[in-house]
Structure 1
């Protein structure tokens, strides 16, 4: 079975731009997606990266140009200045982990997509417990049950983060197929070709 390892963060606009395309590519090649939400706040310091607020003004400005360019090119809606951003993504990431553990990869991916859309399209606060409860319900998930698995999900989230660091991940989204890394949604065409060749 072909497997794509998918390191992601639910508050990342680049992850949002690539999420549904990744799922479509995986389906086309009969590949499974190993969904691994990871904590970028722990990944950045060991990989030379900086949180957005600490980046130079010219880098922050160009990021907006690229986000708008890609959003238009892909036809994927994206609010460049969402109401709830920056936003802490840890609780949302742990909820994705819990959903995957409880209901499988497809449920985890569906919830991840809904949380990404919540930030970048719907002006919703994914750091708010009420919002997380509502989005889980919209995805057909039992929020109370997922919350009950919070400690186990936190351990897996920590492990995902350490695995990301060990795999030399430095940003999100990050895809890995047969040991080959692909950083960013703009590398999905290369991943597609690698899957076709595999």
Structure 2
């Protein structure tokens, strides 16, 4: 079975967009996805946004809305945003994104990484749920992904340092593979950055003998 790494962030709309196609690849071909969650750029390198062009945000919102429409996916900027910002600054307490990312790592360790990303990113980005962080939204999403929410929560809440170290290693490996952005797939040491590189990823794997799922 072939495999590839997926570097992915819960704060990236483009990461949300790519997951259904990666799940379809997994259903269609004899291939496995190694889900490797990373913290979003706003958390690991907030200085990146200090000098951004004023056109950056308007274009992002236009492009993501257009891409969601093109893919037929429901979409709205999350309420709340997984990354907290105060007065334009991300250098503040972050009550959501670290735990979300650690839950993603734990799901990947239990071989349910892609289903977990699909279900949780949907409640965050689809616009179908307000206050995705409250009530039982995360619990239900986790259970739809075939995981036990209490067991997953216990794992990440009682060993946060371990999960933080895994994420930080993912981030180092991501850069060593050739890029820092998400979503990013790496196959055979070759990086494929962006949700529009799925076809190229499959093309490259086919060159290496990718076979249909059994």
Query: Across the two proteins, how many residue pairs are aligned to each other?
Result: 191
Correspondence for 1:194: 204
1:29 maps to which residue?
29
Distance 2:188 2:11 in 1: 27
**Are 2:147 and 1:141 aligned?**
yes
CA RMSD of aligned residues (A): 2.6
Report which of the two has the higher share of helix. Answer: 1
Could you tell me how far apart the structure 2 residues matched to 1:154 and 1:124 are? 27
Q: Which ranges of structure 1 fall in alignment gaps of 5 or more residues? A: none
Q: Shift in Å at residue 127 of structure 1?
A: 5.1
With the length of structure 1 as denominator, give the TM-score of the two structures.
0.83
Change (3 A) 1:40 1:169: farther
- TM normalised by structure 2 equals 0.77
**Could you say which residue in structure 1 is the equivalent of 2:92?**
none
Specify which of 147, 155, 171 is matched with residue 181 of structure 2: 171
Aligned equivalent of 1:116: 121
Structure 2: where are the runs of 5+ without partners?
84-95, 209-214
Say whether the 8 Å CA contact 1:91–1:127 is kept in structure 2. no
Larger radius of gyration: 2
CA spacing shift, 1:178–1:153, aligned 2, 3 Å: same
- How far does the alpha carbon of each residue in 1:86-134 deviate from its partner, in whole angstroms, 9 at most, with x for none? 5342211111211222x31xx2211111111111113344555854334
Give the counterpart of 2:97 among 67, 70, 89. 89
